[in-house]
Amino acid sequence: MSAAGSSDGKYKIGGLEVEVKDSIARLTSNGSLAGSTLTMEEAFLNFIKKMAFQ
């Protein structure tokens, strides 16, 4: 998602208005989930942590 890693706020993605709050992206029109705000770095660190690599 183009707002990945950004702070809370409103963004326009593919012509749709999305609000990010507490790292959760939702369409402002109906509250549906609008994608992930997870960055690649955060995903990698989660993988390392969950797989118990040291």
Q: Could you tell me the residue range of the domain that residue 38 belongs to?
A: 9-50
- Asked if residue 29 is part of any domain, the answer here is yes
CA distances from 42 to 35, 38, 54 (A): 15, 6, 16
- Asked if residue 45 is part of any domain, the answer here is yes
- Asked if residue 3 is part of any domain, the answer here is no
What local confidence, expressed as pLDDT, does residue 35 receive? 83
Reported as type and span, the H/E element at residue 40 is helix 40-50
What's the domain count of the chain? 1
Question: Cβ contacts of residue 53 below 8 Å, gap of 6+?
Answer: none
Instruction: Note the pLDDT tens digit of each residue in 1-33.
Output: 676 777 899 999 889 999 999 989 999 999 999
The pLDDT of 35-39, averaged and rounded, is 87
